[in-house]
């Protein structure tokens, strides 16, 4: 982890409001792992003051890429970075996804820009000979992550809220189809989606169905507003069985069974 | 600061630099004037529900709620690390009652690795109906006196800007035995989520910090430094050399860098470099020559007049 001045070598819009930025930085390329993120400064001034966390979307030999959805002030500034401009990038930060060597069949589930870290993970997993299914959810067909950004070996399943492409409904409704098949589950997206993934994959305590649905490792990448991203401000915590833990340093990836939802301690 | 020689006048502020270890991979922490630790309470604290952070133009609000590992863990796990460092570590303490401040100050007295105490009197006083110790000269002085009685460590008392007359409180704290004042903690603020039509932070209110607060705190330092005789440390919105110079010229002997650490973790060390160059360029041998230089001559304390 270090402070990098990374040159923007490509900036391509791949969906409405969504840009992929290639950042040149050998240091980041060498250190980055799927599931980690970078903390990017929104220009040289003090408004907006805080950096913005962005997942590592691709790891290239000479740098990394991030996929930025322009939703507000900071992300719009970053997404509109001109070619050859320099970004002030802190990273890589946080705990990466863990690929257990015994897990060969991986189910990944992403909502919105939550697909970003899963793409990096899918590339690494395919390189290790794993089979990967990636389920993504979006509001409408226009916002579905384009398949040509994915390695062809990934099995791609789509859900849209309005049914304009793929399954009509929540992306989590696709998960049961792959649950018996897979050895491990990885998810990143809005908190309600992650909570649904945790609920669907949680082994039932009683009954045959529960017993068959053996305990598969489920890793969830959580989101929270960040101040420092270095573990010092304690602004980014989520509730876990061990009390509040920091998304930036103890996460963003957490085993699903350690998380406590809606602030109630289980 | 009484009994504590700082290598330079640029410190990092409590709650913005963790336990000092977190930024070690990025910052040459041994070059800092001092590190003010995360706020320590007697018992470990969980802190407030989320969201805990909100952004505002050139500033941020936080409502962390003093999440920390508690006094015992600090003594057993953090202080031994600090004892091996050159950089002085000043323990920032927060109590819910005078007795808790006494316990914190007394326990930390003589612990190797702890170079001084910063007494944060701006946290809720549950024994006094939700008021803050920093709210009145009397309660601020009571806490200061209690800490002074049980500790031989240099005592810096951190004032709250959320009071009617901060100068009165500064005077009371000086008379009660403080060696130094840090001015100030965060300004109480609120952000409303217009879509949800309710306060944005789970705690409803939060503390405003960053460049947005700087003019308010510079004014407070200017007022206080004219009246008290103990050193004043300026805290609020320091991001660069010019900001630090504003505080020094207003009468502060040192500054603390807070929120700016989140944006550029090397802010404090860059200011230290800048200050050295500045003093050389201006032919200033002792930084005391510029401390308070922006104040009217009559109000300035007698510094060296040989020039
Ligand atoms: C670990 C992590 C990885 C992320 N990866 C990506 C990514 O790959 N691509 C992408 O487009 N976005 C990603 N985000 C979300 C992204 O950081 C926010 O969308 C962005 O901060 C919004 O900033 P803004 O200024 O545009 O929005 P504004 O609404 O103007 O922001 C206001 C405040 O809210 C915070 N904020 C708003 N939305 C979020 C959010 N969803 N998560 C955290 N903070 C938020 C901002 O940081 C800021 O402090 C990630 C967030 C986290 C925590
Ligand atoms: C996230 C955060 C946590 C803080 N925690 C503490 C604390 O525990 N004790 C304390 O005395 N001040 C605390 N502060 C206040 C800072 O030390 C400092 O007084 C304030 O941020 C103003 O300085 P700045 O504008 O440079 O940030 C905290 C500030 C922030 C932003
Ligand atoms: S963002 Fe500061 S502790 Fe995580």
pLDDT in tens, B140-156: 999 999 999 999 999 99
Q: Give the pLDDT confidence score for residue B25 in this predicted structure.
A: 96
Calculate mean pLDDT across residues A177-196.
Answer: 95
Q: Whose CA is nearest to atom 14 of ligand 2?
A: B15
User: Are B45 and B67 in contact, with CB atoms under 8 Å apart?
Assistant: yes
Bigger pLDDT: A213 or B215?
A: B215
Ligand 3 atom closest to the Cα of residue B262 is 2
Name which of B228, B223, B268, B219 is nearest B246 in CA terms. Answer: B219
User: Touching check for A230 and chain B: CB below 8 Å?
Assistant: yes
Calculate mean pLDDT across residues B1-26.
Answer: 91
Mean per-residue pLDDT over chain A, rounded: 93
CB contact under 8 A, B26 and A2: yes
Percent of chain A with pLDDT over 70: 94
- pLDDT of A56 > 50? The answer is yes
- pLDDT of A266 > 70? The answer is no
Calculate mean pLDDT across residues B202-227.
Answer: 96
Q: Give the pLDDT confidence score for residue B126 in this predicted structure.
A: 47
- Among A72, A193, A228, name the best residue to mutate to test ligand 1's pocket (greatest count of ligand atoms within 8 A of Cβ): A72
- pLDDT of B185 > 50? The answer is yes
Q: Give the pLDDT confidence score for residue A181 in this predicted structure.
A: 94
Contacts of A42 in chain B (CB under 8 A): none
Closest residue of chain A to B206, computed from CA coordinates:
A235
Min distance B44 CA to chain A CA atoms (Å): 11
Q: Is A100 exposed, middle or buried (0-12, 13-18, 19+ CB in 10 A)?
A: exposed
Task: Give the separation between CA B117 and CA B158, rounded to whole angstroms.
Answer: 10
Tokens 């060390």, located at residue: B269
Q: Give the pLDDT confidence score for residue A262 in this predicted structure.
A: 74
Q: Give the pLDDT confidence score for residue A210 in this predicted structure.
A: 47
Task: Give the separation between CA B84 and CA B82, rounded to whole angstroms.
Answer: 5
Name which of A195, A233, A189, A152 is nearest A55 in CA terms. Answer: A189
Q: Give the pLDDT confidence score for residue A206 in this predicted structure.
A: 52
User: Are B98 and B115 in contact, with CB atoms under 8 Å apart?
Assistant: no
- pLDDT of B58 > 90? The answer is yes
Name which of A62, A73, A78 is nearest A11 in CA terms. Answer: A78
- pLDDT of B175 > 80? The answer is yes
CB contact under 8 A, A232 and B22: yes
Percent of chain A with pLDDT over 90: 92
Calculate mean pLDDT across residues B169-175.
Answer: 97
- pLDDT of B112 > 80? The answer is yes
Calculate mean pLDDT across residues A2-21.
Answer: 97
Q: Give the pLDDT confidence score for residue B249 in this predicted structure.
A: 97
For residue range B218-272, list pLDDT tens digits in order: 999 999 999 999 999 999 999 999 999 999 999 999 999 999 999 999 999 999 9
Q: Is A148 exposed, middle or buried (0-12, 13-18, 19+ CB in 10 A)?
A: exposed
Query: What's chain A's Rg over C-alpha atoms?
Result: 18
Q: Give the pLDDT confidence score for residue A144 in this predicted structure.
A: 95
Q: Whose CA is nearest to atom 38 of ligand 1?
A: A225
For residue range A225-249, list pLDDT tens digits in order: 999 999 999 999 999 999 999 999 9
- Reading the block at residue B138, the tokens are 């009397």
Q: Is B252 exposed, middle or buried (0-12, 13-18, 19+ CB in 10 A)?
A: buried
- pLDDT of A207 > 60? The answer is no
Q: Residue A133 in 3-state DSSP? A: strand
- pLDDT of B184 > 50? The answer is yes
Q: Is A213 exposed, middle or buried (0-12, 13-18, 19+ CB in 10 A)?
A: middle
List b or e across B57-71, with b for residues whose CB sees 16 or more CB atoms inside 10 angstroms.
ebbbbbbbbbbbbeb
Q: Give the pLDDT confidence score for residue A107 in this predicted structure.
A: 97
Lowest model confidence (mean pLDDT) among A224-238, B170-184, B288-302: B288-302
**Closest partner CB to B18 (pick from A231, A243, A244):** A231
Calculate mean pLDDT across residues B110-118.
Answer: 97
B123 is catalytic: yes
The alpha carbon of residue B88 and the mean position of all alpha carbons in its chain are separated, in whole angstroms, by: 14
Closest residue of chain B to A239, computed from CA coordinates:
B49
- pLDDT of A265 > 50? The answer is no
Q: Determine which helix (DSSP H) or strand (DSSP E) holds A37, and give its type and residue range.
A: strand A37-40
Min distance A220 CA to chain B CA atoms (Å): 19
User: Touching check for B73 and chain A: CB below 8 Å?
Assistant: no
Contacts of A46 in chain B (CB under 8 A): 58, 210-211, 239, 263
Calculate mean pLDDT across residues A56-71.
Answer: 97
Min distance B38 CA to chain A CA atoms (Å): 8
Calculate mean pLDDT across residues B65-90.
Answer: 96
CB contact under 8 A, A244 and B26: no
Q: Give the pLDDT confidence score for residue B135 in this predicted structure.
A: 87
Mean per-residue pLDDT over chain B, rounded: 93
For residue range A17-45, list pLDDT tens digits in order: 999 999 999 999 999 999 999 999 999 99
Give the pLDDT band of residue A264 (cuts 50, 70, 90).
Answer: very low
- pLDDT of B188 > 80? The answer is yes
CB contact under 8 A, B50 and A225: yes
Q: Please report the sign of the dihedral spanned by the C-alpha atoms of residue B203, residue B209, residue B215, residue B217.
A: positive
Calculate mean pLDDT across residues A154-166.
Answer: 95
- pLDDT of B131 > 80? The answer is no
- H/E/C letters for each residue in chain B? CCCCCCCCCEEECCCCCCCCCCCCCCCCHHHCCEEECCCECCCCECCCCCCCEEEECCEEEECCCCCECCHHHHHHHHHHHHCCCCCCEEEEECCCCHHHHHHHHHHHCCCCCCCEEEEECCCEEHHHCCEEHHHCHHHHHHHHHHHHHHCCCCEEEEECCCCCCHHHHHHHHHHCCCCEEEECCCEEECCEECCCCEECCCCCCEEEECHHHHHHHHHHHHHHHHHCCCCEEEECCCCCHHHHHHHHHHCCCEEEECCHHHHCCCHHHHHHHHHHHHHHHCCCCCHHHCCCCCCCHHHCCCCCCCC
């Amino acid at each position: 982890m270090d402070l990098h001045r990374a040159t923007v070598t490509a900036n391509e819009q791949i969906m409405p409001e969504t840009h992929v930025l290639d950042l040149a930085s050998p240091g980041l390329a060498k250190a980055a792992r799927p599931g980690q993120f970078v903390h990017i400064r929104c220009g040289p001034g003090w408004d907006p003051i805080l950096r913005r966390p962005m997942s590592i979307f691709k790891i290239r030999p000479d740098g990394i890429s991030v996929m930025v959805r322009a939703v507000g002030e900071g992300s719009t500034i970053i997404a509109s970075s001109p070619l050859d401009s320099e970004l002030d990038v802190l990273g890589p930060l946080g705990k990466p996804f863990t690929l257990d060597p015994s897990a060969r069949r991986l189910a990944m589930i992403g909502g919105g820009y939550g697909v970003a870290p899963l793409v990096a993970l899918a590339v690494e997993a395919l390189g290790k000979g794993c089979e990967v299914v990636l389920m993504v959810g979006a509001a409408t067909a226009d916002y579905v992550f384009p398949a040509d950004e994915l390695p062809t070996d990934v099995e791609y399943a789509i859900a849209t809220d309005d049914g304009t492409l793929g399954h009509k409904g929540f992306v989590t409704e696709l998960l049961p189809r792959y649950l018996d098949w897979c050895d491990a589950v990885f998810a990143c997206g809005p908190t309600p989606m992650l909570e649904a993934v945790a609920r669907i994959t949680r082994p039932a305590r009683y009954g045959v169905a529960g017993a068959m649905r053996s305990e598969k490792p489920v890793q969830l990448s959580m989101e929270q507003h960040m101040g420092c991203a270095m573990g010092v401000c304690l602004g980014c915590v989520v509730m876990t069985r061990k009390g509040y833990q920091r998304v930036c340093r103890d996460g963003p990836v957490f085993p699903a069974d350690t998380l406590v939802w809606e602030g109630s301690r289980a | 600061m009484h009994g504590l020689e700082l290598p330079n006048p640029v410190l990092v502020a409590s709650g913005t630099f963790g336990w000092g270890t977190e930024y070690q991979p990025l910052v040459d922490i041994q070059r800092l004037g001092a590190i003010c630790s995360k706020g320590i309470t007697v018992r470990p604290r969980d802190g407030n529900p989320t969201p805990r952070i909100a952004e505002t133009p050139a500033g941020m609000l936080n409502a962390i709620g003093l999440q920390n590992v508690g006094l015992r863990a600090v003594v057993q796990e953090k202080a031994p690390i600090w004892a091996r460092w050159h950089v002085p570590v000043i323990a920032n303490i927060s109590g819910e009652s005078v007795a808790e401040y006494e316990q914190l100050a007394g326990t930390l007295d003589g612990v190797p690795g702890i170079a001084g105490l910063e007494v944060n009197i701006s946290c809720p006083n549950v024994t006094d109906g939700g008021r803050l110790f920093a709210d009145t000269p009397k309660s601020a002085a009571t806490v200061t006196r209690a800490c002074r009685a049980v500790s031989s460590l240099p005592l810096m008392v951190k004032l709250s800007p959320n009071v009617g007359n901060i100068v009165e409180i500064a005077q009371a704290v000086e008379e009660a035995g403080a060696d130094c004042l840090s001015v100030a903690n965060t300004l109480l603020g609120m952000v409303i989520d217009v879509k949800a039509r309710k306060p944005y932070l789970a705690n409803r209110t939060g503390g405003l910090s960053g460049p947005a607060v700087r003019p308010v705190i510079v004014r407070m330092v200017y007022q206080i430094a004219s009246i008290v005789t103990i050193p004043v440390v300026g805290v609020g919105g320091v991001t660069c050399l010019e900001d630090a110079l504003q505080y020094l010229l207003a009468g502060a002997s040192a500054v603390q860098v807070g929120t700016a650490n989140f944006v550029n973790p090397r802010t404090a060390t860059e200011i230290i470099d800048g200050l050295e160059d500045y003093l050389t360029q201006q032919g200033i041998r002792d930084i005391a020559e510029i401390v308070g230089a922006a104040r009217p001559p009559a109000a300035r304390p007698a510094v060296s007049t040989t020039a």
